[in-house]
């Protein structure tokens, strides 16, 4: 597959199949500017906030730390450090609630703030073009930057792969309803984002970036239209409003007409995709030396009285965030981390805001009514019409319910991006994505078990082999020892030593003589008795 550079440079846009137009409801939260959230008293910082391994904890309970000071040390592999969001004292390091759909626990560091908010930064690298590539990548890694768009892939790692890159795609689409964090960031910090894009271009050794913004963000678009003429490397692409045009694979299809190969990476097409928030964080890390300790979070929904966008320090609990925004829960309230299409509900509010948290949505019943009862599928095919991956959601659903894992494989279950468009349109309100997630987990579990049983089988066979081998070796050793003994004896006899056989023969003779003597004595005694 080769990229049609001429068409892309001419500004051509392609289309992707399917997609939906759910109510956007973005005006609820994008009216004001981004407000810094007042500091909380305690912060809980999960040590793993990206996709990859957690770093090693380098602080202990009782330590006093400054804001921006690393709390973990990234290992050699795909680790990233986390930083203290403000100055204070480490009061606990233990298992705690993290932002995870299943309410999973992980190691979290609890920080009690001292209220002074003393921050430390790394030295700025204003002349970044003079610094080596590895130094810049190390800076981005030390700043703890992971993809802020949702997946949380370490940014430096994405850029470190030595492959030719045609375009860097900067994702400012934000197609998920309600969320306006990227929109407001683009409105207020367009120049910093551009700086970040230039750093990314420098690192990638490529000279073309495509900045994609959905057509429903006119203010953000106007900002870039004004600034971009001075930055010819960056081309603005206004993409039509359709969910999920901000999905990485769909955006690539929109901008380049290409499809990322199944199980492949955008890099296979010579593309790297980064979120606008990530570009902003990269600029701050390189040009200001700031580690990633805060991000923009949209707080929205009709159950908060002050919806909007907030600069939130990472580790702030959702409870603190919502309390500040005037949260009034209803009896069966749902608190959604993320948007209405792909977000997950939180069981309680102790969960902290992390690097990938872009939105907290607390809807009223009226605006997002809870799902109705699941009815039978009527095979209407509405799901297949909207599926951006061109899957057959309906067939997948039958196969998932039947636990037909081979069939699921044939229908490419793992190419599902879980965007939720199918479930959104399903007239029978079947929670399709839920079934796919469950089936994926089951398939993964089966694969794990298969690997485990394969390992167990190999170990068992190896053990049997070893036992047999040891037995043979033992027998062989005994045989050799016996032979050596005999040979040694024979040699000793030949050298004139006593033949052990002689001693045996002598012993036998002695025993026979003794028995004969006893028999003779017994005979003599009986003769004497009979004589009496």
| 377 labeled binding residue | yes
The candidate with the shortest Cα–Cα distance to 383, out of 442, 429, 342, is: 429
Q: How far is the CB of 294 from another protein (least distance, A)?
A: 25
Q: How far is the CB of 82 from another protein (least distance, A)?
A: 26
Q: How far is the CB of 219 from another protein (least distance, A)?
A: 25
Q: Between β-strands 271-275 and 42-46, what pairing exists: parallel, antiparallel or unpaired?
A: unpaired
Q: Are 175 and 279 in contact (CB under 8 A)?
A: no
Q: How far is the CB of 350 from another protein (least distance, A)?
A: 11
Give the C-alpha separation, 57 to 47, whole Å: 8
Give the C-alpha separation, 4 to 152, whole Å: 29
| 383 labeled binding residue | yes
**Where are the extended beta strands (E) located within 138-222?**
167-172, 209-214
- List the structure tokens of 388: 């951006």
Q: Which lies closer to another protein via its Cβ, residue 131 or residue 434? A: 434
| 416 labeled binding residue | yes
The candidate with the shortest Cα–Cα distance to 249, out of 236, 266, 237, 235, is: 266
Q: How many alpha carbons lie under 13 Å from residue 20 in its C-beta half-sphere?
A: 21
Q: How far is the CB of 174 from another protein (least distance, A)?
A: 16
Q: Which lies closer to another protein via its Cβ, residue 113 or residue 423? A: 423
Q: Which lies closer to another protein via its Cβ, residue 212 or residue 234? A: 212
Q: How far is the CB of 247 from another protein (least distance, A)?
A: 10
Q: How far is CA 525 from the centre of its chain?
A: 101
Q: Which lies closer to another protein via its Cβ, residue 154 or residue 393? A: 393
Q: How far is the CB of 333 from another protein (least distance, A)?
A: 5
| DSSP sequence for 257-316 | S--PPTT--GGGGTEEEEEHHHHHHHHHHHHS---S-EEEEEEESTTBSS-EEEEEETT-
Give the C-alpha separation, 186 to 184, whole Å: 5
Q: Which lies closer to another protein via its Cβ, residue 66 or residue 377? A: 377
Greatest extent of the chain over all pairs of C-alpha atoms, in Å: 147
The candidate with the shortest Cα–Cα distance to 416, out of 392, 445, 399, is: 392
| 206 labeled binding residue | no
Q: Tokens 């002074």 — which residue? A: 116
Q: Which lies closer to another protein via its Cβ, residue 380 or residue 519? A: 380
Q: Which lies closer to another protein via its Cβ, residue 15 or residue 191? A: 15
| 387 labeled binding residue | yes
| 422 labeled binding residue | yes
Residues annotated within the binding site for [4Fe-4S] cluster are 377, 380, 383, 387, 416, 419, 422, 426
């Amino acid at each position: 597959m080769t990229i049609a550079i001429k068409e892309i440079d001419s500004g051509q846009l392609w289309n992707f199949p399917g997609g939906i137009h759910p109510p956007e409801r973005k005006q609820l939260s994008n009216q004001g500017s981004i407000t810094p959230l007042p500091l909380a008293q305690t912060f809980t910082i999960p040590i793993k906030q990206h996709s990859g391994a957690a770093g090693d904890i380098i602080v202990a309970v009782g330590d006093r730390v400054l804001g921006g000071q690393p709390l973990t040390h990234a290992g050699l592999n795909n680790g990233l450090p986390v930083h203290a969001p403000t100055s204070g004292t480490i009061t606990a390091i233990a298992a705690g609630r993290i932002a995870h759909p299943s309410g999973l626990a992980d190691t979290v560091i609890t920080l009690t703030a001292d209220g002074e908010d003393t921050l430390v930064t790394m030295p700025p690298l204003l002349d970044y073009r003079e610094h080596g590539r590895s130094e810049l990548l190390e800076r981005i890694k030390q700043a703890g930057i992971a993809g802020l768009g949702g997946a949380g892939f370490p940014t430096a790692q994405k850029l470190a792969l030595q492959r030719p890159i045609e375009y860097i795609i900067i994702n400012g689409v934000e197609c998920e309803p309600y969320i306006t964090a990227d929109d407001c960031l683009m409105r207020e910090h367009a120049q910093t984002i551009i700086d970040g894009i230039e750093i990314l271009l420098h690192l990638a050794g490529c000279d073309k970036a495509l900045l994609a913004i959905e057509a429903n963000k006119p203010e953000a678009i106007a900002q870039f239209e004004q600034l971009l003429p001075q930055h010819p490397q960056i081309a603005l692409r206004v993409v039509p409003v359709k969910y999920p045009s901000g999905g990485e694979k769909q955006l690539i299809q929109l901008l380049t007409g290409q499809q990322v190969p199944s199980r492949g990476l955008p890099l296979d097409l010579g593309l790297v995709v980064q979120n606008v928030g990530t570009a902003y964080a990269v600029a701050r890390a390189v040009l200001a030396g700031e580690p990633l300790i805060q991000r923009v979070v949209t707080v929205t929904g009709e159950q908060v009285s002050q919806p909007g966008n907030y600069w939130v320090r990472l580790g702030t609990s959702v409870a603190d965030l919502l309390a500040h925004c005037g949260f009034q829960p209803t009896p069966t309230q749902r608190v959604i981390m993320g948007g209405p299409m792909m977000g997950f509900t939180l069981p309680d509010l102790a969960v902290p805001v992390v690097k990938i948290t872009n939105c907290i949505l607390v809807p009223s019943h009226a605006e997002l009514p809870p799902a109705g009862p699941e009815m039978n599928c009527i095979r209407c095919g509405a799901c297949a019409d909207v599926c951006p991956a061109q899957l057959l959601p309906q067939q997948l659903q039958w196969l998932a319910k039947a636990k037909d894992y081979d069939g699921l494989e044939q229908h490419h279950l793992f190419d599902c991006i879980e965007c939720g468009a199918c479930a959104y349109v399903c007239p029978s309100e079947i929670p399709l994505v839920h079934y796919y997630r469950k089936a994926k987990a089951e398939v993964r579990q089966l694969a794990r078990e298969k690997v485990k049983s394969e390992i167990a089988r190999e170990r068992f066979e190896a053990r049997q082999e070893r036992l047999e081998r040891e037995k043979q070796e033992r027998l062989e050793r005994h045989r050799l020892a016996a032979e050596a003994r005999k040979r040694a004896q024979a040699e000793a006899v030949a050298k004139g030593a006593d033949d052990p056989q002689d001693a045996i023969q002598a012993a036998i003779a002695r025993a026979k003589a003794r028995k004969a003597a006893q028999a003779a004595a017994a005979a003599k005694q009986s003769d004497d008795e009979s004589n009496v």
